[in-house]
Chain A
Amino acid sequence: MTASELIRSSAAEMAAKLASGEITSVELVQAHLNRIAEIDGGERGIHAFLHVNGEEALAVAADVDARRAAGEELHELAGVPIAIKDLIVTKGQPTTAASKILEGWMSPYDATVIKKIRAARMPMLGKTNLDEFAMGSSTEHSAYGLTRNPWDLDRIPGGSGGGSAAAVASFEAPLALGTDTGGSIRQPGSVTGTVGVKPTYGAVSRYGAIAMASSLDQIGPVSRTVLDSALLQEVIGGYDPQDSTSLTDASTGLADAARLGNVKGMKIGVIKELHGEGFQAGVENRFNESLELLREAGAEIVEVSCPNFGYALGAYYLIMPSEASSNLAKFDGVRFGLRTLPTEGPLTIERVMGATRAAGFGDEVKRRIILGTYALSAGYYDAYYGSAQRVRTLVQRDFEAAFAQVDVLISPTTPTTAFKLGEKLDDPLSMYLQDVATIPANLAGIPGLTLPGGLADEDGLPVGIQLLAPAREDARVYRVGAVLESLLEAKWGGPMLNQAPELASTAVAAEEAN
């Protein structure tokens, strides 16, 4: 098997080859590091990574190989490399949140998910790009440059987790961690033709994920297959005493659900409000095709209505910035990260904090801090934050009513395929609309999965299909997702990513640029 074929395998396949001794972890990690070196840098590179952690990844890989040679029992994914969204803190690698305000900051502690990744002995390839503090839907808001979509280098890879999605889509990593506050795992998954899951709120510890909106944030897996995401969620999930909002449920049964292989008799609800008007025709076509495949496989497709979803986006854009304005208050230049002194006038603590935040935060971050500060202000709180929380309850009730009728819900993940870089930068509202179908799951705390649903007729770009299940029923989205994936791949004659264009090496260009 060539290195090129190797990196195109799924994580489960890589794990099987490692277990059988067909390959070593060092070979596997090196193949990915070579791929990163080949396509990630340069003017037209993918630029999925903000930091490449080659040395440590190879050391972990060598350690896994030695342990395996010694006959030690290892975790199923031991030796399979992973990329980490740079919103999750890691010892030994910088964590920036793609913000200037954290440039050069090294966390003295590991996030809980990182401890679990280390315990499973998965080599970490590096930290991936994102919109600054995960605020955006295009990864264009990174302070360290944009990430390109491997399907079309002039298009966005989605956001905020564009780096993780692009890394997995371009075979720089088989697995990645993302975070999803309003769709930051699922929307990039949708536009890059990859799989991404936002688990049930509390299923995965948030300890060590730099908070944007605490009541909405959730860490989740990014992969190329549904089974791979299930395997990864089993690694990172489970109760964490350091996260008060974490659930006590064991993180098991997800891979089994993905391997179950049937949907016969399941009731699948099409959310009336999340398709049709406002959705691109090619997206709608692929969506209908998936419904037909599921129907043929024995699922019952019914339409359900979630009448309050129309208010979800508005509520989200009050709750999220309110919490973000508070969570980001700690970035003040006093204890860590950037400190900027005012260029004129007296040197007071307030002015140093102000100058630091003015210089350290980008425009989108400032926009949300201002919005959130306003929404929480005396006299406005009830009208804004209070009303938004009431809408949130209504959205939850819509889901409750829907799940009283069906086992899972289905919708397109995003209304459109990937848009062009720069296209929506001056139009925040249109950017925010990207998350119209993903946001309700965050407001309700339920699990959501996106998987590739084919290419849109009009632009040949990936369309994502979203599956939603009741809270703590993550297994259901894996079960249905894996079935739909196999039906679609049977139809396409292989994984959708086989249809992605070959990426030219940018290594020479990158070297010249240096």
Chain B
Amino acid sequence: MSVDTILSFEEAMEKYDPVLGFEVHVELNTKTKMFSSAPNVFGDEPNSNVNEVCLGLPGVLPVVNKKAVESSILIGLALNCKIAEHCTFARKQYFYPDTPKNFQTSQYEDPICYDGWIDIELEDGTVFRVEIERAHMEEDAGKLTHMGGSTGRIQGADFSLVDYNRSGVPLVEIVTKPIENVGSRAPELAKAYVAAIREIVKNLGVSDAKMERGNVRCDANVSLRPYGQEKFGTRTETKNVNSLRAVENAVKFEIQRHAAVLDSGVLITQETRHWHEDTKSTTSGRPKSDADDYRYFPEPDLVPIVTTAEWVEELRATLPEPPAERRKRLQADWGYSDLEFRDVVNAGLMDEIEETVTAGATAAAARKWWMGEIARRAKLADVDPAALGVSPAVVVEIEKLIASGAINDKLARKVLDGVLEGEGTPTEVVAKRGLAVVSDDGALQTAIDEALAAQPDVADKIRGGKIQAVGAIVGGVMKVTRGQADAGRVRELILKTLGVEG
């Protein structure tokens, strides 16, 4: 494998104007496959979630999964696409053993969703509009594992294993229009775009959206042209870049590589590239040209899909609030600073805080608990804060106990211990552990009288006007009450007992 020469990113950006394009494949989480009743489940025993249809046995016929069509329409609506009133499937034909029929049933001339857009917000708040060319339905291929040989590819392998569990899993392929005028923000935009698509499909509930499982897969197209030139340069397509970080790195690497190739006076070869996480670089795949002949023709075994306005509107009515809008709304509602809000988003605790606020806590209290004590304990236990076992209702109840003066912050942490140890609701834990703040003035007065008697010199100092000496008496009272007293109230009562104005 030859190592490509690359330019520094800065130099590449000085000389060339990058144009990007993305094809993101989203695996839908429907119960069954795109065209068969076989289960759509990840990770099972190889070739167990198959039937004669997704194995492409002789005589079988496909039937479209209605739920997959609805999921596709939802994705289209979330991406501000138009929804085709009438669309068809087509066969994309090529021989490869992961494709049982040796053609993939896909959409070609008339995708179900087309002409959309999505606004991508970069980290510094810059908003970049990415236009969506189309989002179409198709089926996934099986998974090949090439055994033996050095490349891990089919060429040179001793044999290959194929798992058809993934064969026929519903996919939506989202294709952008060429993304221009992005300049040096290209790698950042690439990452943000894929993150946004992942967030949208997750928010819609139509995909498990786990990139590490291949639920969301990105092919990144990159080309460079001299600044001021209208015509696009020759592009390469880096396949299956399967993490956000890798998308950013792959785009950056291809820009640097293209720049070096162009600088040396050589033309870019139109081809697919493979991303290597270990070397953070791409290598040449197979040559690809627009003349690749897949002999598309309309799928004769399927009737066209007709979407009525009524159906589309029914689906539109179920759309959740778009993630970006929701974030804006929540930050405003909660009054968090940009920094506070970003921390919450990065910690993945937006949903929990929203639920906690909805359940009755103040936004400040919700943030205090989730980002503070709960996050700290989750980190110690090495789990997600949401998975620690503290429900929004618990946070709300603890907050109420504090507000009523029944417990203080220090006791609240002990209450949390009790809840996590399965001792019941916060109120139950307070009762069982006897954690309630001592607010009975009679009981407190006795403790205060004893403390004053034990330290008569301090009492005299206070009487003499050294108010700050009261701390010593408060400490004594707190000790006697094992911290379960309200310190403020104790102070008040001491001063009153000594006839001193606080």
Contacts and interface: CB of A to CB of B under 8 A. Distances in A.
A457 to B, nearest CB: 42
A209 to B, nearest CB: 6
A332 B160 CA distance: 15
Interface stretch (A63-71, A157-165, A376-384, A461-469): A376-384
Interface stretch (B253-261, B294-302, B310-318, B337-345): B294-302
Given A329-B95, A329-B102, A378-B291, A243 B61 contact: yes
Contact of A244 (B64, B95, B96): B64
A244 B63 contact: yes
Nearest to A202: B303
Interface stretch (A54-62, A106-114, A166-174, A434-442): A106-114
B97 A322 contact: no
B151 interface: no
Given A207-B59, A241-B63, A376-B295, A353 B95 contact: yes
Interface residues of A, number: 44
Contacts, number: 101
Interface residues of B, number: 33
B57 A381 contact: no
B383 to A, nearest CB: 43
Nearest to A389: B298
A350 B301 contact: no
A349 B144 CA distance: 13
Dominant SS at the A interface? Answer: loop
Contacts of A244: 61-64, 301-303
A245 interface: yes
Contact of A329 (B60, B62, B103): B103
Interface stretch (A210-218, A303-311, A485-493): A210-218
A326 B104 CA distance: 11
Contacts of A323: 297, 300
B58 A107 contact: yes
B303 to A, nearest CB: 5
A85 interface: no
Given A322-B297, A335-B100, A329 B93 contact: yes
Interface in B108-125: none
B297 A376 contact: yes
B278 interface: no
Contact of A330 (B102, B155, B162): B102
A214 B60 CA distance: 11
Residue of A241, A331, A332 contacting most chain B CB atoms (<10 Å):
A332
A326 B93 contact: yes
Interface string A88-115: 1100000101000010010111010000
A385 interface: yes
Interface in B61-107: 61-64, 91, 93, 95-97, 100-103
A209 B59 contact: yes
Contacts of A403: none
Contacts of A336: 57-58
B97 to A, nearest CB: 5
Nearest to B154: A349
A105 B55 CA distance: 15
Interface in B125-173: 154-155, 160, 162
Contacts of A208: 59-60
A330 B100 contact: yes
Nearest to B36: A242
A326 B297 contact: yes
A323 B101 CA distance: 13
Contacts of A377: 293, 295
B418 interface: no
B56 interface: yes
Interface string B14-57: 00000000000000000000000000000000000000100111
- Residue with the greatest number of chain A CB neighbours at <10 A, chosen from B58, B96, B295: B58
A335 B300 CA distance: 23
A211 B155 CA distance: 32
A390 B303 CA distance: 18
A385 B293 contact: no
A335 B62 CA distance: 18
A1 to B, nearest CB: 39
A460 B55 CA distance: 49
A327 B62 CA distance: 13
Contacts of A2: none
B141 to A, nearest CB: 13
Contacts of B60: 207-208
Contacts of B64: 244
B102 A332 contact: yes
Contacts of B95: 329, 332, 350, 353
A373 B155 CA distance: 26
Contacts of B55: 335
Contacts of B101: 329-330
Contacts of B302: 244-245
B61 A349 contact: no
Contacts of A88: 59
B61 A206 contact: yes
Interface in A191-234: 206-211, 213-215
Contacts of B160: 349
A334 interface: yes
Nearest to B102: A329
Given A244-B302, A329-B93, A378-B293, A107 B103 contact: no
Given A214-B301, A244-B301, A329-B101, A107 B61 contact: no
Nearest to A213: B300
A211 B52 CA distance: 14
Contact of B59 (A107, A322, A335, A348): A107
A88 B59 CA distance: 7
B100 to A, nearest CB: 6
Contacts of B93: 326, 329, 376
A186 to B, nearest CB: 21
A406 B97 CA distance: 52
Most buried by B among A95, A97, A209, A334: A334
Residue among B96, B103, B162, B295 having the largest count of chain A Cβ atoms under 10 Å: B295
A326 B103 contact: yes
Interface string A78-90: 0000000000110
A336 B164 CA distance: 14
Nearest to B155: A348
Given A330-B102, A378-B293, A215 B300 contact: yes
A89 B91 CA distance: 24
B170 to A, nearest CB: 16
B100 A326 contact: no
Contact of A102 (B56, B58, B61): B58
B297 A108 contact: no
A499 to B, nearest CB: 38
A209 B60 CA distance: 8
B58 A210 contact: yes
Interface in B228-266: none
A207 B58 contact: no
Q: Which of B52, B60, B300 has the most CB of A within 10 A?
A: B300
A257 to B, nearest CB: 28
11 contacts: A89-B58, A108-B57, A109-B57, A213-B300, A242-B61, A326-B295, A332-B97, A335-B55, A349-B160, A376-B93, A378-B293
User: Across chains A and B, which 6 residue pairs bring their CB atoms closest together, nearest first?
Assistant: A329-B102, A214-B300, A215-B300, A376-B295, A208-B59, A89-B59
Interface of A: 88-89, 95, 97, 102, 105, 107-109, 111, 206-211, 213-215, 241-245, 322-323, 326, 329-332, 334-336, 348-350, 353, 373, 376-378, 381, 385
Interface of B: 52, 55-64, 91, 93, 95-97, 100-103, 154-155, 160, 162, 291, 293, 295-297, 300-303
Given A95-B58, A95-B59, A376-B296, 20 more contacts: A89-B57, A105-B58, A107-B57, A107-B59, A109-B57, A207-B59, A211-B301, A214-B300, A242-B61, A244-B63, A245-B301, A245-B302, A329-B93, A329-B95, A334-B162, A335-B100, A349-B154, A373-B295, A376-B93, A378-B293
